[in-house]
Each structure stands twice: as C-alpha cells, then as structure tokens.
Amino acid sequence: MDRYGSEARERYVPEPPKRSDRTAFERDRARILHSSALRRLAGKTQVIRAGTDDFVRNRLTHSLEVAQVARELGKSLGCDPEIVDSAALSHDLGHPPFGHNGEAALNEIADEIGGFEGNAQTLRILSRLEAKTFDERGRSVGLNLTRATLSSCVKYPWRRGERATSKFGVYEDDLAVFAWLDTRGRRTMEAQVMDLSDDIAYSVHDVEDGVVGGWFSLVGDLDTPGAWNVAREWYDASATDDRLDAALERLRSMPEWPTEPFRRERSSLAVLKSLTSALIGRFAGAAYAATVERWGSGPLVRYDGELEVPRDTLDEINVLKALAAHHIMRTDELAVVLREQRELLAALVAHLRRTGDEELEPEFAADFRAAADDAARLRVIVDQVASLTDASAVAWARRLLG
C-alpha cells in the first residue's frame, strides 16, 4: 500500500516526468546532497570551531550522523527513509558562520525585518536561494522539493511570534511556499524523527568531542551544579536537580560507561565509540517503543501520529547536552571568541549596507538590485553573510574591513 499519496509528491512548480527508476523522494535527496548549501556546512561550526581539530564534528559531519540515526528510526516507524534522510541532511542548512553564536548575532541585526532563524533560513535556501528550478515568471523556487520532503524539513511550522518561543520556521516573504505546504502548525512524523535524531546526535557526539578534546572527563567528579543550571536555562526549565542526578546515574550505570580516564589511544577511543553507539541505540529505542505503544506499529507517516519520547529519555539527553555546553561553550576562554565573532558579523553587515551590491556575490547582487525596499535589501545582505563559512567570514572581514 502506498503510504504517500499524490498530494505528498506534488512540487511547487510542476515538472515533467523523470526517469522511472527513481522515486520523487529519491530525487529530492539527490538534489539536497548535491547542493552548495550542504557542501558549505563542512566549514561551519558545530560546537568546537570548525577547522581547529580534525577529530571534532563540523556542521556537515554532524548532519550526516543525524541522517544515519533518523533514517533507521524513521524506517522502523514506516516513514519513507529518503524523506527522513533529506530532512536530516537539510536541518542545519540555514545555519550561518559560527553556529548558534552567529545565528544570535544575525537575529539581532535583522530584528527590524523579522529576525533571523536558522530553520527559517533553511526553508528559504531550499525554496528560493539554492539554484535549481524557476517558475513561469522567472523567479527561483530553489530545489523545488516535493511537499512531503519540504514540509519534513520544517522543524518549527509557524511564523515569528505565533508561539511562546524564539524559534520559528518561516520569514514573511516566504509565506507563499509555506502556505503551499499546508502544515497547519503541525510537524510531520518525519520532521519529528529528524528533530529527535538531531538531539540524539548532538548530545552524544558533542560529549565525545568534548572528552577527546580534553574539555572534561566522564570519570570522576563532574561540575553538575553548573551543568544543571545550563540544562534548565537552555533545554528544560522544569528539570530538577533530582531528576538530572537520577538521569546521570542511569547513564553511569550503563556497562559501556568508561571506568578509566580517556587517553588518546585506540583502546580509549574504542571505549568511547562503544558508549556513543550504546547511547544512540538507547535513546532511539526508547522513542520507538513509546511511539509504537501509543500509536500502534504503523506505518506512521506525515500527520498520522506523534513521536513519543519518555521523560526519562529526554532528561538523559539533556544531561549530556548540558555537560558539553557547560564545559565547552560556557568557558571564559570561549566567551571572548564568541564576542569577537558576533562583532565581526555585525561589522560585516554594516559595511555591506554601506556599499550596496558592490561587494556581494553575483547571485546576491542580483537579488539586491531587484529588492523593493530597504528591508528587502537588508534581507539579501543577511542571506549573503549567512551563506559564508567560518573561514570565509573571517576572510571577508579581513578583505573589506582591514
């Protein structure tokens, strides 16, 4: 039985039939995989600055790992693996240079024009900025993905200010394609799988990177009071010390949890890899079991149900995220670097606003000249800066600002 109907396979701009040995969703994944936006993720920060260590993740390697987790979990629930894979590969396309720090800087700069949000930028890239297809008026519609795939790339299917969160999924001038998706404020099952897989990969692999990088150890005392404050501030305001302590104790009781301090040797790396594999299986398995118990064995696709994640599992994920955040992102050393990154992006945007289309790359220069007003022109400049990698942002600042 076909799990996805003709409505799910529609594209914003109709395309002539393609060769029949590939499904529409396989073509979607291929378009994303070959996009320039995906390639640029190799030069963008995950947690530790891109290019500073050959071992740690960047946004591209993180996205590939999210896709692997999502593909398997989604497939077990009956989702088309190509759709889930596409959503996972795309989930960070909208991130600017310097990761979430760059996102915060651009959001402040763009406040007057509706802000900046990495997920809204992802939709903009997929449906406008990435060159592939044009409509009858000669306007770019980006990769022209199917409705099922594109809607599953939308993690926050609402406009800015519609929910009690700073997160949102669409800018005002992208509302036409957003309305076509017809999400009705709901996330597809595939998007939910992508989101959880992102959290799983984020929590597990950031801890692995932090341990290998010498930022903290999993053996001995951890600064849990500081980490638990981060957990409440960033991830779950309702999390009590008792809940987080219990979650850490459950994780420490796993047979794969290290018993000796990490050494940069193959034996220690093997222990750490065993732990990461066990954690991924633990978290994905708990979500699968809870979802099947609540919604049945499926297949569960599109808007058929909700992905269920037990609170204990969420607490364990948040414990790992908080440990990495506290020991890496909250250090005094990194605070100086983060401030400099924000100042660099602000100065770069200010310079480009003064020089108009003179310094913009050709495609953005064309957008700038076609923009109807100052707000639209600022959005083009933000698009340009957001597209840069960490290294190219620094290079542009050196070239343009001295």
Q: What are the structural domains, with CATH classification, of the chain?
A: 6-181 (1.10.3210.10), 189-331 (no CATH), 334-401 (no CATH)
Q: Given this model, what pLDDT does residue 38 score?
A: 95
For residue 137, give both structure tokens: 């008026």
How many residues are given for the chain?
Answer: 402
Q: Given this model, what pLDDT does residue 59 score?
A: 87
Three-state SS for the chain is CCCCCHHHHCECCCCCCCCCCCCHHHHHHHHHHCCHHHHHHHHCECCCCCCCCCCCCEHHHHHHHHHHHHHHHHHHHCCCHHHHHHHHHHCCCCCCCCHHHHHHHHHHHCHHHCCCCHHHHHHHHHHHHCCCCECCCCCECCCCCEHHHHHHCCCCCCECCCCCCCCCCECHHHHHHHHHHCCCCCCCHHHHHHHHHHHHHHHHHHHHHHHHCCCCCCCCCCCHHHHHHHHHHHHCCCCCHHHHHHHHHHHHCCCCCCCCCCCCCHHHHHHHHHHHHHHHHHHHHHHHHHHHHHHCCCCCCCCCCCCCCCHHHHHHHHHHHHHHHHHHHCCHHHHHHHHHHHHHHHHHHHHHHHHCCCCCCHHHHHHHHHCCCHHHHHHHHHHHHHHCCHHHHHHHHHHHHC
Q: Given this model, what pLDDT does residue 372 score?
A: 94
Return averaged pLDDT per consecutive 10 residues of the chain, 402 residues in all.
86 85 93 95 69 64 94 96 97 92 95 96 97 92 97 96 94 96 95 96 90 87 87 93 96 94 90 95 97 92 95 96 86 80 96 95 96 96 96 95 88
Q: Given this model, what pLDDT does residue 9 score?
A: 94
Q: Given this model, what pLDDT does residue 50 score?
A: 43
Q: Given this model, what pLDDT does residue 51 score?
A: 46
Q: Given this model, what pLDDT does residue 297 score?
A: 85
The model's pLDDT over 283-334, given as tens digits with 9 standing for 90+, comes to 999 999 999 999 998 799 999 999 999 999 999 999 999 999 888 877 667 7
Which amino acid is residue 166, in one-letter code? S
Q: Given this model, what pLDDT does residue 401 score?
A: 92
pTM (2 d.p.): 0.92
